[in-house]
Amino acid sequence: MSHVVKVEQRLQDPPQFFIVPADEAVAGLLPVVMGLLGRQLFAGLAAGLLCYFVWKHVKGERGIQGILALLYWITPKEMTIYRSFPDSAVSSWRA
């Protein structure tokens, strides 16, 4: 009774949609689908390409983790869902 267990080689890789990361695929394909539903194919394709490249530029090399870290540091404590975390707006810490 031998069970073959497949272990992924790189556990930190983001989910893929064909060869594109899933978040970039959503950013690019959502406007295309909306354009198809509105019978505006070329406008949807243009908006999809624009959204794809803007999202890729905003995301940068750090990925979604970098965006989440940036949001943590710039969002006031009253507006975040992580109210139990330390306040990121404190300018000096006392030990």
pTM for this structure?
0.63
Q: Are 81 and 68 in contact (CB under 8 A)?
A: no
Place of tokens 């507006």: 79
What letters, b where the CB count within 10 A reaches 16 and e where it falls short, cover 1-11? eeeeeeeeeee
Q: Which residues contact 21 (CB under 8 A, 6 or more apart)?
A: 14, 15
Q: Which helix (H) or strand (E) holds 17?
A: strand 16-17
Q: What is the pLDDT of residues 23-79, one digit of tens each?
A: 899 999 999 999 999 999 999 999 999 999 999 998 888 888 888 888 777 777 677
